[in-house]
Amino acid sequence: MEFSVRIPFVDLLGFRLTRMDGGEAEITYEPIAEHLNSFDVVHGGASMTLLDVVMAHAARSVQTDMGCVTIEMKTSFMRAAKGPLVARGKLLHRTATLAFTEASVFDAAGKLCSHATGTFKFVPRLPTGPGAVNTLNRISTD
């Protein structure tokens, strides 16, 4: 399954969307050496990005013609993340403009590595590519 829009940072990390329907999403991730921290485990920023992206896709799974932007996110790290990872996100509640979500990241042994909750604002799908920067800047001023 392909992501519905190109997200350059997600491309760089190599995330693969494996499920997106019914208020749920799943993304797999095989970190490479450049994604690790000084302890030789997945950098927390990469894990947080994985959680953020899977929660956004869980939110969008119920209305794919809309985009969504992160309003807030809280993350807890339970154990160091190593090797292939899978993230599962779930839409908990939705209003006309907001989505309340949660997600977890598991290692290859199925052990919980991190968990997050997040709130997302639904926004009209925006144009991408050259010339779209001014349109994107409008989100932060609304």
Domains of the chain: 8-141 (3.10.129.10)
Is residue 130 pLDDT above 70, yes or no?
A: no
Residue 32: predicted pLDDT: 97
Dist CA 137 CA 128 (whole Å): 12
Q: With contact defined as beta carbons under 8 Å apart, do 120 and 59 qualify? A: yes
| Closest to 11 in 3D by CA, of 29, 26, 25, 23 | 29
**pLDDT digit string (tens) for 27-37?**
999 999 999 99
**pLDDT digit string (tens) for 55-79?**
999 999 999 999 999 999 999 999 9
Dist CA 141 CA 107 (whole Å): 39
Tokens in use for 19?
Answer: 């499920």
Tokens in use for 125?
Answer: 């799908």
Is residue 92 pLDDT above 90, yes or no?
A: yes
